[in-house]
Homo-oligomer: A and B are copies of this chain.
Amino acid sequence: MAPIPGRLTGLGVGPGDPELLTLKALRLLRAASVVAYPAPEHGVSFARSIVSNWLEAGQREIAIRIPMQPGPPPDAIYDTAAADLAAELDRGNDVVLLCQGDPLFYGSFSYLFARLAGRYRIEIVPGVPSITACAAAASTPLVTRDEVLAVIPATLGEAEIARHLSESDAAAIVKLGRHFPKVRRALRELGLLDSARYIERATLPNQRVSPLPCVDAAEIPYFSMALIRRRPIGS
Closest to A24 in B: B19
- What is the total number of copies of this protein in its complex? 2
Known: A129-B129, A167-B164. A136 touches B124 (CB 8 A): yes
Chain A interface residue bracket vs B: 35 or more
A106 to chain B, nearest CB (A): 6
B105 touches A135 (CB 8 A): yes
Asked whether A122 is an interface residue with its Cβ less than 8 Å from the other chain, the reply is yes
A68 to chain B, nearest CB (A): 15
State the CA gap A148–B149 with chains docked (Å): 10
State the CA gap A176–B100 with chains docked (Å): 29
One of A84-92, A108-116, A190-198, A208-216 contacting the partner: A108-116
Residue from A12, A106, A128, A153 having most chain B Cβ neighbours under 10 A: A128
Asked whether A156 is an interface residue with its Cβ less than 8 Å from the other chain, the reply is yes
A171 to chain B, nearest CB (A): 10
Besides A17-B24, A22-B22, A148-B150, 11 other A-B contacts (C-beta < 8 A): A20-B22, A22-B128, A110-B233, A111-B234, A113-B141, A113-B234, A126-B128, A127-B128, A143-B151, A148-B151, A163-B167
25 contacts between A and B (CB under 8 A): A19-B22, A19-B23, A20-B126, A21-B22, A23-B23, A72-B145, A103-B136, A104-B136, A104-B140, A105-B142, A106-B144, A111-B144, A113-B141, A114-B235, A117-B139, A126-B135, A126-B203, A127-B128, A129-B129, A148-B150, A148-B152, A148-B156, A150-B150, A163-B167, A167-B167
